[in-house]
Structure 1
Amino acid sequence: MSLVREPVTSPATFTSSARAVFKRLIAVGQATRPQLCEDLNLSRPTLSAAMAELSRFDYVEVIGQAQGHTGRTAAIYQIGKGAGHTIAVDAGSTVIRYRVAYLDGRLLLAGTYALSSGQRHMSAEISRMVDQAISKALSAAAPDWGPLRAVGVAVPARVTAQSRLMQPGREILTFDGFSLPAGVPLVLENNVNCAAIAEYNYGAAIGRPDFAFVQVGLKIGMGMVLRGELIRGRNGAAGEVSHLPFPWSASETPQPETLEDYLGVEAFMARVRADWPDDDIPRDSVDLFDRASKGDAAATAHIRRHGHDIGRLVSAGVAVIDPGFAVLGGGVGSLPLLLPYVREEVARLSYSTDIETSTLGADATLLGIGKLAAARAQTDLIDTVNG
């Protein structure tokens, strides 16, 4: 992941068993001592020593008792308040969403800011709204949240290895309307990559080490995971499918982002309006898909054509990385009516590929950047030391 500030150093050197317990509680949320012993293959004395290490800094806490099969009770543990919290922000094309949570994902605060219009690229308004969201989260912090450990922002732009947001051919401004506590890292990642991370950890791609997440909405994009690792590329441009050459013919010259100009929801709805058979034109894509769900023939025909277009995009990705599995997401891609037509075209054009609709919908990007922020916090707290 990417950062632009110095990391927080851990206050102690933890043993490998203490680090394993901490990671496990982040992953599962809550667990009893017997469950932790079984899951981590630890003896009871080793687990007790690990708990003592973590408890010194309030990194774990007891939240109750569970009744076992033998009638004995066992303490239930979760990540403690001393481990702190993170702030995650999805700098979207239509809304800015933020989420404050403990490292195990328990929600503390959430909010949304609407943009004045749909915006395909980073803009002054998006930057301003992100600043506002983070400032709001900082000002709302309560003592029982613990320290702020990391801030993550998912952005509609490339993020290079140098942790800078990039637009084609030029660097763009980042965020400066807030002041983080000293040493708190700021994690930046492309929004589609974040959605792919979320689907891999929480959604349709659980258990799938190779897959592509395809965003279809105001923008188009692709996040690629191979062997369980997100593929970013040398310039942070892996999956930037809006830059596939389009159109590609003897009579036309491709231009940058022309494919997004064609496949984005604004162009799609412009074609719908231009070809609609009567004056009762759909208001937007939501209205169009609603009509199709009720059997409207014109709406169904347009969705079929758009699904075939998206199928061609997916087929291009299959030809490059052959993931075997793809997840459709984004404002339009998450709508199940599109799925059969995408499958139909991929089956016609490409290799065998399972395709499913996102199970996370609009939450995918925010959950993904939250996962990255928590992972960075975990690294700074316990993984950067020798046990």
Structure 2
Amino acid sequence: MPPTPRTEAFPAHTPAASQVFTTVLSHGPLTRSDIGGRAGLSAAAVTKAVRPLMEAGYLVENAEDPGQEARPSLGRPANPVRVDGGRALFIGVKITGDEIIAVLTDLCCRIRSARHLPLTAREPRRVLTAAAELVRELLAEASGFGVPVLGLGLAVSGDVDRAAGVVRYSPFLEWRDIRLAELMGMTTGLPVTVDNDVRALTVAEQWFGAGVGLSDFALVTVGAGIGCGLVVHGQVVSGAHGVAGEIGHVVIDPAGPLCHCGNRGCVEAIAADSAIVAAVREATGVAVADAAAALDLAHRGDQGARDVYTRAGEAIGRAIGTVANLFGPERVIISGEGLAAYDLFAEQIRDTFAASAFGTAAQCDLRTHPLPFDEWARGAAATAIQSFIRPTTRH
């Protein structure tokens, strides 16, 4: 039997302590002076924040951390402080329309183990039973590490209310008003955080990936849907109703194809995988079975298929231009399984972005960052780590 999960309070009782820890988590190892400079805190405030975190084993002082070069200093050596990633474990679960991916991570969100399980049905009870079984498997594996699992993160596409722990609407799962955090919490005994999958991935990129050190950036995902996570002034934006960043439902062509949201010509109705497959079938008369077959047809030079990808790239580029005009991010990270077709629409994305971005918004750095599905589950784990460090962000 897997061990009984135990709860543990994070020993950071002030905003300054949480800020110090997240600074070291994202940028460490750092000297106390470096921490103060990055966090905008005095030396005394840093010392006060660091002490309980070190006493509890979450931070350690180690001048010879593996993989880090010792920093030269004058006078008294300044030993860097780093997070002890092995101090605690977390589980992240990404639920797609046809698969569940679960990962076990350490406190630094490094994946220690992963599980994949195909979904044969989307009925909530069956999906939750399967997800709970994966969690139990990872809990059993975690017992070998000798440290507790302190949180579970769940990532689902669609309209997700993180504060309430409720999936309001997930189009790929066909779920409405599922109290996911409550149900999984009762089943697993773990503190549970539920969030939109793109926002969860954005948290991971902000703390551990291509967004580290940026106060304003956006993550745009292309694939089964078109999503967008936003970080503004260092905060992941969810909006008053939890649906901020839904660029997939920005209307590009009012006379365009019908979207599952009920409108016509949404970016998602033009550039999502299912939309591309349908358009390729119509344009070529070839009954391509899925996105991989459509991509193969385009790569073999079929002009009708290539034109579909051109239009998809233009729609994505215009959507990114809209994000740049509205929020002025320093960087837009483009990711998702749809990057398999990037060579077919990269030029259109960049050209249409440049044409639609206003003024200096066009200086925004566009960067591609392919991420496998394990990384989406890692994003779910990142939200669990975030909730543990900052309890007010938990549902």
Please classify the TM superposition score into its range, dividing by the shorter chain length.
0.7 to 0.9
- Show CA shifts across 1:223-282 (max 9, x none): 2222221111111111234444586369x99963653444421121111022226x5x65
Q: Is the 8 A contact 1:210 1:323 kept in 2?
A: yes
Match of 1:163 in 2: 165
Match of 2:152 in 1: 151
Of 352, 359, 366, the match for 1:345: 352
Q: Is the 8 A contact 1:307 1:339 kept in 2?
A: yes
Instruction: State the TM-score, normalized to the length of structure 1.
Output: 0.73
Of 234, 237, 241, the match for 1:235: 241
Q: Which has the larger radius of gyration?
A: 1
**More displaced 10-residue stretch of structure 1: 355-364 or 222-231:** 355-364
Q: Is the 8 A contact 2:26 2:207 kept in 1?
A: no
Which whole-Å CA distance do the structure 2 matches of 1:325 and 1:157 have between them?
A: 24
Of 355, 379, 385, the match for 1:374: 385
Aligned residue type for 2:132: D
Match of 2:87 in 1: 83
Q: Alpha carbons of 1:242 and 1:77: their partners in 2 closer, same or farther (altered >3 Å)? A: closer
Q: Answer yes or no: is 1:95 the counterpart of 2:99.
A: yes
Q: Is the 8 A contact 2:322 2:356 kept in 1?
A: no
Alignment of 1:163-312 (within 5 A): 163-167=165-169, 171-174=177-180, 176=183, 179=186, 184-244=190-250, 248=254, 256=262, 259=266, 260-276=268-284, 283-290=289-296, 292=298, 297-312=303-318
Alignment of 1:54-93 (within 5 A): 56-59=55-58, 65=64, 79-80=83-84, 83-93=87-97
RMSD, aligned α-carbons: 4.5
Which whole-Å CA distance do the structure 2 matches of 1:51 and 1:223 have between them?
A: 31
Match of 1:3 in 2: none
Instruction: State the TM-score, normalized to the length of structure 2.
Output: 0.72
Percent of aligned positions that are identical: 22
- CA shift at 1:23, angstroms? 4.8
Give the match's secondary structure for 1:146.
coil
Give the match's secondary structure for 2:180.
coil
Aligned residue type for 2:378: L
Q: Is the 8 A contact 1:25 1:104 kept in 2?
A: no
- Show CA shifts across 1:66-85 (max 9, x none): 78879x99999764588321
- CA shift at 1:355, angstroms? 5.8
Which whole-Å CA distance do the structure 2 matches of 1:203 and 1:80 have between them?
A: 18
Give the match's secondary structure for 1:198.
helix
Aligned residue type for 2:368: S
Q: Alpha carbons of 1:330 and 1:93: their partners in 2 closer, same or farther (altered >3 Å)? A: farther
Q: Alpha carbons of 1:193 and 1:80: their partners in 2 closer, same or farther (altered >3 Å)? A: closer
Q: Is the 8 A contact 1:81 1:144 kept in 2?
A: no
Which whole-Å CA distance do the structure 2 matches of 1:307 and 1:75 have between them?
A: 49
Q: Is the 8 A contact 1:214 1:220 kept in 2?
A: yes
Match of 2:3 in 1: none
Aligned residue type for 2:9: T
Q: Answer yes or no: is 1:359 the counterpart of 2:369.
A: yes
Q: Alpha carbons of 1:28 and 1:249: their partners in 2 closer, same or farther (altered >3 Å)? A: closer
Which whole-Å CA distance do the structure 1 matches of 2:202 and 2:47 have between them?
A: 37
Give the match's secondary structure for 2:310.
helix
Q: Is the 8 A contact 2:111 2:378 kept in 1?
A: no
Q: Alpha carbons of 1:180 and 1:61: their partners in 2 closer, same or farther (altered >3 Å)? A: farther
Q: Is the 8 A contact 2:31 2:79 kept in 1?
A: no
Q: Is the 8 A contact 1:90 1:154 kept in 2?
A: yes
Match of 1:27 in 2: 26
- Show CA shifts across 1:13-39 (max 9, x none): 79x7x878755653356x4xxx53453
Give the match's secondary structure for 1:187.
strand
- CA shift at 1:153, angstroms? 0.9
Give the match's secondary structure for 1:113.
strand
Which whole-Å CA distance do the structure 1 matches of 2:284 and 2:116 have between them?
A: 34
Q: Is the 8 A contact 2:85 2:107 kept in 1?
A: no
**Which consecutive residues of structure 2, in runs of 5 or more, have no partner in the other structure?**
1-5
Q: Alpha carbons of 1:221 and 1:74: their partners in 2 closer, same or farther (altered >3 Å)? A: closer
- CA shift at 1:86, angstroms? 0.9
Aligned residue type for 2:95: A
Q: Which is bigger in relative contact order (C-alpha 8 A, separation at least 6)?
A: 1
Q: Is the 8 A contact 2:62 2:82 kept in 1?
A: yes
Match of 1:9 in 2: 9
Number of aligned residue pairs: give it: 364
Aligned residue type for 1:330: G
Q: Alpha carbons of 1:283 and 1:167: their partners in 2 closer, same or farther (altered >3 Å)? A: closer
Q: Alpha carbons of 1:276 and 1:116: their partners in 2 closer, same or farther (altered >3 Å)? A: farther
